[in-house]
Protein backbone atom coordinates (compact mmCIF):
# COMPACT_ATOMS: atom_id res chain seq x y z
CA UNK A 1 0.00 0.00 0.00
CA UNK A 2 1.23 3.45 -0.91
CA UNK A 3 1.92 5.90 1.81
CA UNK A 4 -0.10 9.09 2.09
CA UNK A 5 2.64 11.36 0.74
CA UNK A 6 2.93 9.29 -2.46
CA UNK A 7 -0.84 9.43 -2.96
CA UNK A 8 -0.80 13.19 -2.39
CA UNK A 9 2.03 13.72 -4.87
CA UNK A 10 0.17 11.73 -7.53
CA UNK A 11 -2.95 13.82 -6.90
CA UNK A 12 -0.93 17.02 -7.31
CA UNK A 13 0.60 15.70 -10.53
CA UNK A 14 -2.83 14.75 -11.88
CA UNK A 15 -4.17 18.20 -11.02
CA UNK A 16 -1.26 19.87 -12.82
CA UNK A 17 -1.88 17.70 -15.90
CA UNK A 18 -5.61 18.48 -15.89
CA UNK A 19 -4.98 22.22 -15.63
CA UNK A 20 -2.48 22.07 -18.49
CA UNK A 21 -4.79 20.04 -20.69
CA UNK A 22 -7.80 22.25 -19.93
CA UNK A 23 -5.79 25.23 -21.15
CA UNK A 24 -4.67 23.32 -24.27
CA UNK A 25 -1.00 23.64 -23.38
CA UNK A 26 1.63 21.07 -24.29
CA UNK A 27 4.11 19.69 -21.80
CA UNK A 28 6.87 21.20 -23.88
CA UNK A 29 5.33 24.68 -23.78
CA UNK A 30 4.73 24.65 -20.02
CA UNK A 31 8.17 23.21 -19.28
CA UNK A 32 9.81 25.95 -21.32
CA UNK A 33 7.74 28.69 -19.68
CA UNK A 34 8.58 27.59 -16.14
CA UNK A 35 12.25 26.82 -16.77
CA UNK A 36 12.11 23.02 -16.60
CA UNK A 37 13.20 20.33 -18.97
CA UNK A 38 10.43 18.27 -20.54
CA UNK A 39 11.68 15.30 -18.54
CA UNK A 40 11.33 17.22 -15.27
CA UNK A 41 7.83 18.33 -16.18
CA UNK A 42 6.80 14.78 -17.11
CA UNK A 43 8.04 13.65 -13.69
CA UNK A 44 6.10 16.46 -12.02
CA UNK A 45 2.88 15.37 -13.73
CA UNK A 46 3.49 11.80 -12.62
CA UNK A 47 3.87 12.91 -9.00
CA UNK A 48 7.65 12.69 -8.79
CA UNK A 49 8.87 16.08 -7.60
CA UNK A 50 12.40 15.04 -6.69
CA UNK A 51 14.73 17.67 -8.10
CA UNK A 52 11.95 20.19 -8.80
CA UNK A 53 12.70 23.54 -7.22
CA UNK A 54 10.30 25.78 -5.36
CA UNK A 55 11.02 28.46 -7.98
CA UNK A 56 9.90 26.12 -10.78
CA UNK A 57 6.67 25.32 -8.93
CA UNK A 58 6.07 29.02 -8.28
CA UNK A 59 6.70 29.78 -11.96
CA UNK A 60 4.10 27.17 -12.93
CA UNK A 61 1.53 28.61 -10.54
CA UNK A 62 2.21 32.16 -11.76
CA UNK A 63 1.93 31.10 -15.40
CA UNK A 64 -1.40 29.33 -14.81
CA UNK A 65 -2.76 32.30 -12.86
CA UNK A 66 -1.66 34.76 -15.56
CA UNK A 67 -3.27 32.59 -18.24
CA UNK A 68 -6.52 32.47 -16.25
CA UNK A 69 -6.60 36.25 -15.76
CA UNK A 70 -5.84 36.83 -19.44
CA UNK A 71 -8.65 34.49 -20.49
CA UNK A 72 -11.12 36.33 -18.26
CA UNK A 73 -10.39 39.60 -20.06
CA UNK A 74 -10.92 38.25 -23.56
For residue range 31-61, list pLDDT tens digits in order: 998 888 999 899 989 988 777 888 888 888 8
CA distance 7 to 12: 9
First to last CA, the chain: 46
pLDDT over 70 (residue 1): no
Q: Would you state the pLDDT for residue 38? A: 93
Sign of the alpha-carbon torsion through 64, 35, 25, 13: negative
Amino acid sequence: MEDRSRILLRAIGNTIRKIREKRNMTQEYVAEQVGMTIEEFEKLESGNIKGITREELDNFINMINADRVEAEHI
